[in-house]
Amino acid sequence: MVGSLSGPGLNSATPYWAKSWKRSPNVWSGPTAALLVLNYKAILLPLGAAGAHTVGQARCTNFRSRIYNDTNINSTYAASLKSTCPQSGDDNNTAPLKPNNYTSFDNDYYGNLLVEKGLLHSDQEIYNGGGTSPLVTIYAENSTRFFEDFGESMIKMGNISPLTGSSGQIRSNCRVVNSASAI
């Protein structure tokens, strides 16, 4: 997917999104090119894997704060979710992760982010003007590219060796490192 970026220009193995950047040829050689390749490989795993949110639902307790407090959410979409998820209570009510056909595995998840219809705060953050926004746009426009990168992300995640013994821990709450007394 990513080849050598040495030389005065781009080669056929240059990442798709990098080809669209308007840069001078000298950017694609030396340390800058190495950083771009490292950044591409670093964001490919989590961003491609985020596409798994194209299928499924989330509990109200996981998106309530987004629909009542965030400003980067489509107002019509937020209003429709408020009928399912009131400001308090009904924590177990659910909403689709993708408002249009949440049972189909496709690249619509990324298209929804382009129009501020990410259900979870963390999802919308990947298309919020930061470094991952160009790749979100590519995935929204190119389903083949999304499927290829998603597959590569899943393979990479499958190759992650879990920490065992004293090097790792099974968390009581996945969001919080266990306290010393819980270990």
Q: Which residues are annotated as a binding site for heme b?
A: 53
Reported as type and span, the H/E element at residue 58 is: strand 57-59
CB atoms within 10 A of CB 75: 9
- Residue ranges at the known binding site for Ca(2+): 54, 106
State the Cα–Cα distance between residues 14 and 76, nearest whole angstrom: 39
State the Cα–Cα distance between residues 38 and 159, nearest whole angstrom: 18
Q: Assess contact for 3 and 14: CB atoms under 8 A.
A: yes
For residues 39, 41, 42 and 48, what is the CA-based torsion angle, rounded to 10 degrees?
A: 120
- Residue ranges at the known binding site: 53-54, 106
State the Cα–Cα distance between residues 98 and 95, nearest whole angstrom: 8
State the Cα–Cα distance between residues 118 and 109, nearest whole angstrom: 8
State the Cα–Cα distance between residues 42 and 61, nearest whole angstrom: 30
